[in-house]
Every structure is written in structure tokens, then in C-alpha cells.
Amino acid sequence: MRQSMTLIPTLREVPADADVKSHQLLLRAGFIRQNASGVYSYLPLARRVLVKIEAIVREEMDKAGAVELLMPALQQADLWQESGRWYSYGPELMRLKDRNEREFALGATHEEVITSLVRDEVKSYKRLPLTLYQIQTKFRDEKRPRFGLLRGREFIMKDAYSFHSSKESLDDVYERIFTAYSNIFARCGLNYRAVIADSGAMGGKDTHEFMVLSDIGEDTIAYSDTSSYAANIEMAPVKASYEKSGEAERGLEKVRTENQKTIAEVSSFLNVNETQCIKSLLFKIDGRPVLVLVRGDHEVNDIKLKNLFEASTVELAEAYETKNILGCEVGSVGPIGVKNVEIVADHAVESIVNGICGANVEDFHYVNVNPGRDFEPSRYEDLRFIKEGDPSPDGQGNILFAKGIEVGHVFKLGTRYSEAMDALYLDENGKSQPMIMGCYGIGVSRTLAAIAEQFNDDKGFVWPEAVSPYQVHLIAVNTKDEAQSSLSETLYKSLGEKFEVLFDDRQERPGVKFADSDLIGLPVRVTVGKKAADGIVEVKVRKTGEVLEVQTDKLKETIS
Ligand code: ATP
Ligand code: MG
Ligand code: MG
Ligand code: MG
């Protein structure tokens, strides 16, 4: 590509409103321009990097057995109402009306659309498992769009969804996609770590995030200094207590309904008085809302129970906005002190907001997380606020902290969407069953920014080979010099047969060309200068700064 013909508007100054390196350099090197807060144009260089990241993503997803499709960004509200998320997703979901006043959302994610598609088209276990993905623009009205492409309001995501007739099949695909993600981020050259995550608004159980290690990351990772244990700090302590319980049955299990406790028993257990127990359903520990639900189906009279749920629903709806709730249900299973405190998955909390009591829905509880043995309510703080130097929850080594940028996220959703939306299939015995689902996201535009964040020096970008917009930057120092001009034209053609070449044929001062070249940061620079008449050019490696003079007939082999 001739630089005179493309659009690479470089800037000398650091833009005032850009405070992280990737954002500054993407603007300065002419990769992106902002249109509105959190909304960007990808200029030709950025577009090329995106295409390369997407190619890697496609290759690895295809290898994992996923199939690409493309779904609409414009989504009917009806689907979101079916899943309940129309009400629970909050202001991040961009909503609009068509000319007939029908409500729509701009896709923030596609569980609803894909679940409705698959429920209509797949009816038998014989068609499962099925894993579909797309690469598409997503919309989220982020409260604080920032750091350029890292947190946009319009951004590019690869999202995949899998459908299964058994948990084993889900485990298998989860594993494959986990491997695909590891390959993708490694091929992009990123220094990343897969961490245990929180299930958040999606609802789910097993879930991991892929974090690019970076000081500007918004998430904190707690990791062991000796083992592979790593968790998002949001999740680490609860998981920790859960994983510590050696004989605990792991996972979520259908809730049992025997042995509920009275409010009195629960309040004494929690060390609060009865009124508090009912009224302070949502209390705070270190600023973090903790929801306590008391299930007193047998012992608590209906009015109390009704009030209790009404009160908690309102407060919960508010607290839920923060997406930072620790759900805790008291009094549903087993005798006090043994089995009666359960950590409720976040999607149970979500379903309570929607008026369905999570406690009655299968698959919504961690069972056998035992107070006293696994944690004590009064020691929540210790568990949720694990400190550097604490013993690692896996029993190996001590905890260290690092900051991370979430570039990918994999979830086992279970039947949360298929049940709400009736995505059913017929099993071997002709019995109707809800499909078991997984979902898997990669922030493609965020990955671009994360690479930009990791690969730069004081002069500009230093793109890793695999995703560099071009491989070679060919520079004619003085285009008015006949020898330089004709040799660079010849090299542009011949190098172009083997490499992707950006050719600086502009009539600019050499200083400008070199500064732009460093800023853009392609792996290799070939400079055609004074020795052009002798057939000699200069080759410079961007990463090491190494410089060689090369005869043009040796050029191709030198570069490769
Ligand atoms: P975050 O915690 O950063 O808000 P998220 O957990 O809300 O991200 P997911 O719903 O897991 O995001 O979406 C899958 C992927 O999409 C994320 O792992 C991230 O890489 C990317 N992503 C999410 N929000 C944004 C955004 N506002 N801008 C760019 N990429 C994003
Ligand atoms: Mg988010
Ligand atoms: Mg997140
Ligand atoms: Mg996430």
C-alpha cells in the first residue's frame, strides 16, 4: 500500500484526553478516531490489525468445532422480556423504538437471539451438541467509557454459544474453547492469564476470564506464587471457601426443601435480632451489598414472607445495578451450622429481581458450603477481602495481586436461558428437556487495544509479527532523487510478492517519515537512501533497533 494513497493521520502531540498508552498511540499513529464517547472509527491500519486478530479467532474457533454465523444487532424487546433481562440488564442495554412504537435493543450480547434461533430449529438430541459463533459489533451504554477501545460503547466482540444434551458434552466443549482461547491470546503475543471468574449478570457456574496482565487493568487478580491458581478478586474468596471444603459436593444442585429454619433460629445464627433479620436483608460489608434471604416456607407466616420478598426486591434491584451482590440464602437446607447457608449464584439473584424466586429454581445453588467449616458469616470480610501474602486457597503458595484487562470470558450457563425461553429438545427416550448451554466471548477490539498496550516503546508501537498491520515499511528517503525513486518502486513490487508492504512514497522530510515509521511500528523497515545507486538499502528491526546494510538481491532472504 502506498502511504500517499491511504489514510494514516499521525499526530505529534499526545492527545489531551487520552490517558493510557494504547489510547494515546492508537490516536497518534493514526489508527483510530473518536466519533462520540466510547465510539470510534477504525482507520485503515487498525482495520488491518482487526482483520488479523479475527482471522486467528476464526481459525481457532473453527478448529474447536464451532461454526460461524451472523445475527442481527437490532433485537426485539420480546426476546429480552422472555429471558427476563429486559428488566434486569439495566441502563447498559441501549433501547430504542421503531416507527410503530415497538421496542428494540441494540445487541449487548446474543443469548436471547441465539436461544430463540436454536429452539426453533433444533428439536432432537441427534442435532446436539451445536456450537455457533459470530464476530459482530456490540452496544453497551457503559457508565464510564474510557481508555479508548478498551471500554467502548460500540465495540467488536466474538461471541459463541454452545447447546448440549448433557453436562459432559458441555464440559467437553468448554474445555475445547478454553484451549482455543489460550491459543488465540498466545498467538496474539499477549501476556495473559486464565482466572476463575464471577458469574455476574449472565448467570452461570463454571466460568473463567482471560486477563491480559497490565497495570491499567480494571480487574484485580489474586494468584498463587507457586501454583496455577488465579482468580478474579471479585470471586476469589467465595470460591476459596467453596474449594476448601474437601468433602463438599461441588457444583450447583437442585435445592432441597426440607428443614427450613425459623426466623428466630436464623437471626440467632446470624447474630442479629429478628427484626434486623427481616429488614436488613440487604446489608453491607465493606461497602459490598450482601443479600440474605430467609426461606421460611413452613415457619414464617405468609405476610412476613411477602413483605420480606417485596422489601428485598426493591433494594435488590438497586444493589443489583452495582452487579456486586453476594447472594446468601439462609435457612433452606439442613440443621443450623451444617448445611443451611448457601451461596446463591448471581443469576438466582437476577431471577429474584424478575420476580421468580431463585431458591425454587433448579441449578441455582452451591450446595454443601458449610458455615463454620467453610466460612463463618461474621468472617465474610476476611474471605471476600483476601490480602496479598495470604495462603493461596488451593493450599499451594501465597497470594500475589496483579491487574488485568479482561479480553475473554467463558461461561457454563446451564439451563438458565433454555428454561426461561423454552429451548427444549427430545432426548433418546422422547422426553422433552431444556438444552444445556455455554457462552464464550472475546473482546476483539479490546484485544487490539490490549496488544497496543503491551507492545510499544517511547517512540511508538512495536507490533508483534502475527497481528502487525503490514510486515515491512518501505521508505524512500528522497522521492525526487531518480535512483531512490526507481529502486523503491522496484522494491515495492518485488517485496510485495512476498510480504505485506507499506510504502512511504510521500514527499515528506526524512525526519517526518522516520518518526511516523517508528510510531506506526511495523516489524521491519527498509530504507532506500543515498546508496540506492549502488543497489544498497538499510534494514532496521523495529524491536531490537538492529540495523544492517543489504544488497537488494539479498533483501528478501534477509527480511524473512
Ligand atoms: P467488563 O467486565 O470489562 O465490563 P464484561 O464482563 O461486561 O466486561 P462480557 O459480557 O464478559 O464483558 O463480554 C465478553 C467480552 O467482551 C469481554 O471479555 C471483553 O473482552 C469484551 N467487552 C465487554 N465490554 C466491553 C466494552 N465496553 N468495550 C470493549 N470490549 C468489551
Ligand atoms: Mg461490563
Ligand atoms: Mg467482567
Ligand atoms: Mg465478562
39-55 pLDDT, tens digit each: 999 999 999 999 999 99
Strands of the sheet containing 501-504, edge to edge, are: 501-504, 472-476, 524-528, 536-541, 547-551
Contact 291, 312 (CB under 8 A): yes
Across the range 136-144, mean pLDDT stands at 95
What distance in angstroms lies between residue 239's CA and the mean position of ligand 2's atoms? 21
Nearest ligand, CA of residue 232? 3
**Three cell numbers, residue 112:** 436471547
- The pLDDT-based confidence of 371 (bands split at 50, 70, 90) is very low
Residue type at 75 in one-letter notation: Q
Say if pTM beats, i.e. exceeds, 0.80. Answer: no
* pLDDT > 60? residue 283: no
Q: Is 217 in the pocket of ligand 1 (CB under 6 A)?
A: no
Rounded Cα distance, 8 and 29, in Å: 7
At residue 327, the pLDDT reads: 41
Q: Is 406 in the pocket of ligand 1 (CB under 6 A)?
A: yes
Across the range 379-390, mean pLDDT stands at 53
Q: Is 204 in the pocket of ligand 1 (CB under 6 A)?
A: no
Contact 43, 33 (CB under 8 A): yes
51 or 196, which is more confident? 51
Cell 484485580 sits at which residue? 220
Consecutive H or E run containing 512: helix 510-520
- The pLDDT-based confidence of 386 (bands split at 50, 70, 90) is low
Across the range 85-103, mean pLDDT stands at 91
Region of poorest pLDDT, from 74-88, 228-242, 256-270? 256-270
The ipTM, to two decimals, is 0.99
Quote the distance between the C-alpha of residue 206 and its chain's center: 15
401 or 254, which is more confident? 401
267 or 188, which is more confident? 188
Nearest to 241 by CA among 386, 362, 404, 32: 386
At residue 64, the pLDDT reads: 98
**Three cell numbers, residue 185:** 491470546
At residue 89, the pLDDT reads: 82
- The pLDDT-based confidence of 197 (bands split at 50, 70, 90) is confident
What is the phi/psi pair of residue 391, to 5°? Answer: -65, 140
Give the Cβ contact number of residue 213 at 10 Å. 17
Give, in order, the Cα–Cα distances in Å from 513 to each of 495, 505, 539: 19, 9, 15
Cell 468433602 sits at which residue? 247
Contact 30, 102 (CB under 8 A): no
What distance in angstroms lies between residue 112's CA and the mean position of ligand 2's atoms? 17
Q: What is the DSSP string of 15-78?
A: PTT--SHHHHHHHHTTSEEEEETTEEEE-HHHHHHHHHHHHHHHHHHHHTT-EE----SEEEHH
Rounded Cα distance, 522 and 473, in Å: 6
Share of the chain above pLDDT 90, in %: 63
Q: Is 409 in the pocket of ligand 1 (CB under 6 A)?
A: yes
What distance in angstroms lies between residue 203's CA and the mean position of ligand 3's atoms? 12
| pLDDT tens by residue, 18-29 | 989 999 999 999
At residue 234, the pLDDT reads: 65
Per-chain mean pLDDT for the chain: 79
| pLDDT tens by residue, 456-478 | 999 999 999 999 999 999 999 99
What distance in angstroms lies between residue 310's CA and the mean position of ligand 2's atoms? 28
Nearest CA to ligand 1 atom 23: 443
What distance in angstroms lies between residue 406's CA and the mean position of ligand 3's atoms? 6
At residue 328, the pLDDT reads: 41
At residue 233, the pLDDT reads: 74
* pLDDT > 80? residue 199: no
Across the range 249-260, mean pLDDT stands at 32
Nearest to 259 by CA among 186, 338, 206: 338
Residue to mutate (ligand 1; options 32, 157, 413; most atoms within 8 A of CB): 157
Contacts 24+ apart (CB under 8 A), 534-538: 535/487, 537/487, 537/491
- The pLDDT-based confidence of 560 (bands split at 50, 70, 90) is confident
Ligand 1 atom with the shortest distance to the CA of 159: 14
CB under 8 Å to 157, separation ≥6 — which residues? 109, 135, 136, 137, 138, 441, 442, 443, 444, 445
Of 112-126, 260-274, 295-309, which has the strongest mean pLDDT? 112-126
* pLDDT > 90? residue 229: no
At residue 84, the pLDDT reads: 82
Nearest ligand, CA of residue 210? 1
- The pLDDT-based confidence of 316 (bands split at 50, 70, 90) is very low
At residue 36, the pLDDT reads: 97
Ligand 1 atom with the shortest distance to the CA of 109: 10
- The pLDDT-based confidence of 264 (bands split at 50, 70, 90) is low
Q: Is 441 in the pocket of ligand 1 (CB under 6 A)?
A: yes
Q: Which residues pair with 95 in a beta bridge?
A: 105
**Three cell numbers, residue 544:** 531490537
Work out whether strand 472-476 and strand 501-504 pair parallel, antiparallel, or are unpaired.
parallel
Nearest CA to ligand 1 atom 27: 151
Share of the chain above pLDDT 70, in %: 71
Region of poorest pLDDT, from 170-179, 290-299, 397-406, 538-547? 290-299
- The pLDDT-based confidence of 198 (bands split at 50, 70, 90) is low
Residue to mutate (ligand 1; options 196, 406, 411, 440; most atoms within 8 A of CB): 406
Q: Is 151 in the pocket of ligand 1 (CB under 6 A)?
A: yes
At residue 310, the pLDDT reads: 41
Q: Is 93 in the pocket of ligand 1 (CB under 6 A)?
A: no
- The pLDDT-based confidence of 274 (bands split at 50, 70, 90) is low
Of 267-281, 386-400, 477-491, which has the strongest mean pLDDT? 477-491
CB under 8 Å to 457, separation ≥6 — which residues? none
* pLDDT > 70? residue 431: yes
What 8-state DSSP symbol labels residue 397?
A: S
